Amino acid sequence: MQTKLTLHIDDSLILLAKDYAERNGKSLSQIVEDYFRVLADNQKLLENAPITQSLIGVLSESKVDESD
């Protein structure tokens, strides 16, 4: 099933995206759909990776922050 979606995107970015789609022989809709599929697949890989699962919560009680 496909659903129509309206996005509000900067005009200059739309021009770049349309040019990219044309150069790659795809519609802009297909480019966007492919991108979100890649994001979803990558997220699944990260969630399901054994090393990721084993590290969840390891630093929960430490005083480490993102700048470390």
pLDDT in single tens digits along all 68 residues of the chain: 899 999 999 999 999 999 999 999 999 999 999 999 998 887 776 666 777 667 777 777 777 677 76
Report which of 26, 9, 28 is spatially closest to residue 18, judged by C-alpha positions: 28
pLDDT of residue 34: 94
The total domain count for the chain is 1
Instruction: Check if the beta carbon of residue 20 is closer than 8 Å to that of residue 14.
Output: no
Q: Look at residue 18 in the predicted model and tell me its pLDDT.
A: 96
Which residues lie below 8 Å from residue 55, measured CB to CB, with a gap of 6+? none
Model-level pTM greater than 0.85? Answer: no
Indicate whether 66 belongs to any domain.
no
Please indicate, yes or no, if residue 8 is contained in any of the structural domains.
no
Q: Any residues with CB less than 8 A from the CB of 9 and at least 6 apart, and which?
A: 17
Q: How many residues does the chain have?
A: 68
The answer to the question of residue 3 being in a domain is no
Q: Which residue range is the domain that position 45 belongs to?
A: 26-56
**Does residue 11 lie in a domain region?**
no
Residue 32, domain member (yes or no): yes
Residue with tokens 């969840």: 56
